[in-house]
């Protein structure tokens, strides 16, 4: 089994290095794409084999070699394949394989084709390190690794120039890449502090040792560790207030958005909370856990509200990702870790599908993102329409689709815990989710062909790419059917969260409420945006001028706030410090030097070769000495 672990882990690395060979100015080489995709598929097969092994024989734990040892600290490269990590591995490698194949088509005409695959496979490698590591430092390797790959991939089209915020809220790919990296680093500092706390209080960073020792620690320390780790999670999973990077990260190529900024990397924070469930389910940190749930709920609603009016097709999907991450945190915060993981997996499938569908639309529309310019694309791109329809239904959470099972379970959990405010907000958000996802579908595929006047000639993606997307579509429909099996499997490792008898009794009604609200959302969207001719959608200038619209359009002015109150003051302070450095710190050094020079210059007058003036100075000196001596005796 050990060798399978290494195959699963290193196959993407080999793919990345292979593509890297054709770096630099080497011309586009189709082989790189196919080699990288094949190796990813190998990694997927190995992950599935490991999953089967874990089901039958339990977890696999391997230690490859030492990494850092100093003082009492000893960190190995160790990998743990248990129920939780193998779930992540299968999800990550499956989505990655699809996205790799998709990219061979999508990036077909890009001159940096080879570079793209090198980065993309490197990302998967980092992500696998993140989920497979058996200790916090190893997790941090993957944590930072995915951050760098995200930086490289968001800034993939680095040659694009900066544009003002009003024209493009994400300014430019390179700007968005830097923003993502720096904002994540803020969170990473929290994570590091958490690691230090763990080390100095427990003496090890290995999960098994740490979690075994946790119950013996003082409450204050446990709370501090939980807060620090969650700050780390907030960065990667883009929770408020560290969320603005995620929508800006949409500057990256769409397959990147699908893989990294929807299905995998952004779920790392959720994964961390799930992984550290022995900590977060302790009584002492229940306050932190409740905060996690509350923040998640807030973000779910907050992001969904912005998605209601967004015009940029990718931003809509990104905001829905943000919102769904909020759902996952709500579940994890309430203690339903396995439900959070289940939603994580289901979300990975339908959200990747949704993004890839959006990519097809962009591809067809020559990289146009504005849904106001689309419409009636159904005929031209039937395949993509069906996929996006499936994904949106799954996201909206209609029965038999994956999202119905996973999201409903989260909402039910909120009810079960008696946190009715969270429950209420999540229900309302579910309705908003259904509305905005179908708003986007109807805008792009139904209604008048607004694009015709603008001179677009849309055409669907390559056939093989559409075929490659099929596994995601199948899972987006059917993944929920395996909920009970998944539960039986995963609760060997995670706490088995059960609904109370009372909740069970009312489950049918709770589910019905959610479905009714979701359907209502879809119907409203259909009425407003899918009409043709006389019923066709028209811009509502009055609404667009309203305060609420402006507020949502400007993302509640949070990016503006960051710019005004963080970026600008930092820049000004830096300039000021530099001026101080030159004038005061360096200036005083020069002043001392000049004082020496000057005093020499002045006293040079004494050496004038005039004997009588020498005698005068001698007399003065002697007098001074006498006075000094007299004073010294007087003072005694």
Partner 1 sequence: MSHILSALVFFPALAGILGFVVDKKSAKAYGIAVAAVEFLLSIWLWISFDGSNAGMQFTEYVPIIAQFGISYNLGVDGISLFIVIMATMITLLGIILLREDTPNMKNMIVSLLFLEMTMVGVFVSLDAIVFYLFWELSLVPMLYIIGAWGGPTRVYAAVKFFLYTFAGSLIMLVGLLAMAYLYNLEAGVWSFNILDWYKLQLTADQQFWLFLAFFAGFAIKVPMFPFHTWLPHAHGQAPTIGSVILAAVLLKMGTYGFVRFSLPILPDASVDFTPFIMVLSLIMVVYTAMVAFAQKDMKQVIAYSSVSHMGIIMIGVFAMNAEGLGGSIFLMLSHGIVSGALFMLVGVIYERRGTKLMSEFGGLAATMPIYATVFGVMLMASVGLPLTIGFVGEFLVLLGFYKVSVIGTIIAGSTIIIGSIYMLALFKKSFFGPVTNEKNFGLKDLDARELTALLPLVAIVVWLGVYPKPVLEPIDNSVKKLLVQMEEHAQFPSTKDAIIISKKEAE
Judged by the rule CB under 8 A, the positions of this chain that interact with partner 1 are: 23-25, 65-73, 137, 140-141, 144-145, 148, 155, 158-162, 172, 174-175, 178, 181-182, 185-186, 188-189, 192-193, 195-197, 199-200, 203, 570-571, 573-575, 577-578, 581, 585-586, 589, 593
CA–CA distance, 290 with 267 (Å, rounded to integer): 19
* Structure tokens that stand for 487 in this block: 């539960």
129 vs 294, beta carbon nearer partner 1: 129
Q: How many residues does the chain have?
A: 636
Asked if 148 and 39 touch (Cβ cutoff 8 Å), the reply is no
CA distances from 331 to 335, 394, 476, 537, 589 (A): 6, 18, 20, 37, 60
**How far, in Å, are 1, 74, 373, 549, 612 from residue 245 at the CA level?**
39, 34, 26, 21, 81
Q: Is 485 exposed, middle or buried (0-12, 13-18, 19+ CB in 10 A)?
A: exposed
Considering beta carbons, is residue 182 or 512 the nearer one to partner 1? 182
User: Closest distance between partner 1 and the C-beta of residue 286, in Å?
Assistant: 24
Cα end-to-end distance, the chain, whole Å: 88
* Minimum CB–partner distance for residue 22 and partner 1 (Å): 12
* Min dist. Cβ of residue 170 to partner 1 (A): 14
Min dist CB 221 to partner 1, Å, is 12
Per-residue DSSP letter, 299 = H
**Alpha carbon 301 to chain centroid distance?**
18
CB 312, min distance to partner 1, A: 22
3-state secondary structure of 317: helix
Tokens of 206: 């290995």
CB of 61 to partner 1, least distance (A): 21
Query: Would you say 535 or 571 has its CB closer to partner 1?
Result: 571
What torsion do the CA atoms of 333, 334, 338, 340 make, to the nearest 10 degrees?
Answer: -50
Q: Decide whether 24 or 636 has the Cβ nearer to partner 1.
A: 24
Nearer to partner 1, 76 or 255 (CB): 76
Give min distance, CB of 447 to partner 1, in A. 37
Q: Nearest distance from residue 152's CB to partner 1, in Å?
A: 8
Q: Are 92 and 127 in contact (CB under 8 A)?
A: yes
Cβ neighbors of 275 (< 8 A, separation 6 or more) are 84, 139, 207
Cβ nearer to partner 1, comparing 145 with 511? 145
With CA atoms as reference, report the closest residue to 79 among 44, 142, 131, 7. Answer: 131
Q: How far apart are CA 625 and CA 310, in angstroms?
A: 87
Cβ of residue 609: shortest distance to partner 1, in angstroms? 30
Residue (1 or 186) nearer to partner 1, CB: 186
Task: Take residue 146 and report the two structure tokens written for it.
Answer: 């995915």
96, 153 contact by CB (below 8 A): no
Report helix angle 313-333 to 268-275, nearest 10: 10
Q: Which residue lies nearer to partner 1 by CB, 464 or 578?
A: 578
In the bound state with partner 1, the residue whose beta carbon lies nearer, of 197 and 356, is 197
Q: Quick one: 17 or 308, whose CB is closer to partner 1?
A: 17
Smallest distance, Å, CB 394 to partner 1?
Answer: 36
């Amino acid at each position: 089994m050990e060798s399978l672990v290494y195959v699963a882990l290193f196959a993407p690395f080999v793919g990345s290095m292979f593509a890297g060979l054709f770096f630099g100015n080497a011309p586009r080489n189709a082989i790189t794409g196919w080699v990288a995709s094949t190796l990813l598929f190998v990694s997927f097969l190995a992950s599935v084999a490991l999953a089967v092994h874990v089901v039958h024989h339990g977890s696999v734990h391997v230690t490859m070699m030492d990494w850092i040892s100093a003082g009492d600290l000893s960190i190995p490269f160790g990998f743990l394949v248990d129920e939780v990590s193998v779930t992540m591995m299968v999800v990550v490698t499956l989505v990655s394989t699809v996205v790799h194949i998709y990219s061979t088509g999508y990036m077909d005409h890009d001159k940096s084709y080879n570079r793209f695959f090198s980065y993309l496979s490197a990302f998967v490698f980092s992500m696998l390190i993140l989920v497979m590591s058996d200790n916090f430092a190893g997790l941090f390797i993957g944590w930072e690794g995915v951050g760098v790959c995200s930086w490289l991939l968001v800034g993939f089209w680095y040659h694009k120039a900066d544009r003002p915020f009003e024209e493009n809220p994400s300014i430019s790919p390179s700007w968005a890449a830097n923003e993502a990296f720096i904002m994540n680093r803020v969170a990473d500092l929290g994570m590091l502090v958490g690691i230090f706390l763990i080390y100095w209080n427990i003496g090890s960073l290995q999960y098994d040792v740490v979690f075994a020792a946790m119950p013996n620690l003082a409450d204050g320390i446990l709370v501090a560790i939980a807060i620090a780790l969650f700050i780390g999670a907030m960065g990667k999973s883009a929770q408020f207030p560290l969320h603005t990077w995620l929508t800006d990260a949409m500057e990256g190529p769409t397959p990147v958005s699908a893989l990294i900024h929807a299905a995998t990397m952004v779920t790392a924070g959720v994964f961390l909370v799930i992984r550290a469930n022995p900590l977060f389910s302790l009584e002492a940190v229940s306050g932190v856990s409740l905060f996690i749930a509350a923040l998640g709920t807030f973000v779910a609603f907050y992001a969904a509200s912005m998605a209601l009016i967004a015009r940029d097709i990718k931003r809509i999907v990104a905001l829905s990702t943000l919102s769904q991450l909020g759902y996952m945190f709500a579940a994890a915060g309430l203690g339903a870790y396995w439900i959070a993981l289940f939603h994580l997996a289901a979300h990975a499938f339908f959200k990747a599908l949704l993004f890839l569908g959006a990519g097809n639309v962009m591809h067809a529309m020559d990289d146009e993102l504005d849904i106001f310019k689309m419409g009636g694309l159904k005929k031209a791109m039937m395949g993509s329409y069906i996929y996006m329809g499936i994904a949106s239904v799954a996201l909206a959470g209609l029965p038999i689709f994956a999202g119905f099972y996973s999201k409903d379970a989260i909402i039910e959990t909120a009810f079960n815990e008696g946190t009715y405010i969270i429950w209420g907000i999540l229900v309302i958000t579910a309705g908003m989710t259904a509305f905005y996802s179908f708003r986007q579908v109807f805008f792009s595929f139904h209604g008048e062909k607004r694009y015709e006047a603008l001179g677009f000639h849309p055409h669907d993606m390559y056939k093989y790419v559409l075929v490659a997307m099929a596994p995601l579509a199948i899972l987006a429909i059917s993944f929920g059917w395996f909920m009970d099996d998944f539960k039986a499997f995963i609760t060997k490792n995670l706490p088995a969260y059960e609904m109370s008898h009372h909740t069970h009794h009312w489950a049918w009604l709770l589910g019905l409420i959610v479905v009714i609200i979701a359907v209502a959302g879809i119907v409203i969207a259909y009425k407003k945006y899918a009409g043709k001719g006389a019923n066709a959608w028209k811009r509502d200038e009055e609404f667009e001028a309203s305060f609420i619209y402006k507020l949502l359009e400007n993302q509640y002015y949070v990016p503006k706030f960051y710019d005004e109150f963080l970026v600008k003051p930092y820049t000004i302070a830096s300039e000021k410090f530099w001026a101080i450095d030159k004038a005061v710190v360096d200036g005083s050094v020069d002043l001392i030097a000049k004082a020496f020079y000057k005093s020499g210059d002045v006293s040079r007058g004494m050496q004038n070769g005039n004997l009588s003036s020498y005698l005068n100075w001698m007399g003065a000196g002697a007098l001074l000495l006498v006075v000094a001596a007299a004073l010294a005796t007087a003072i005694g």
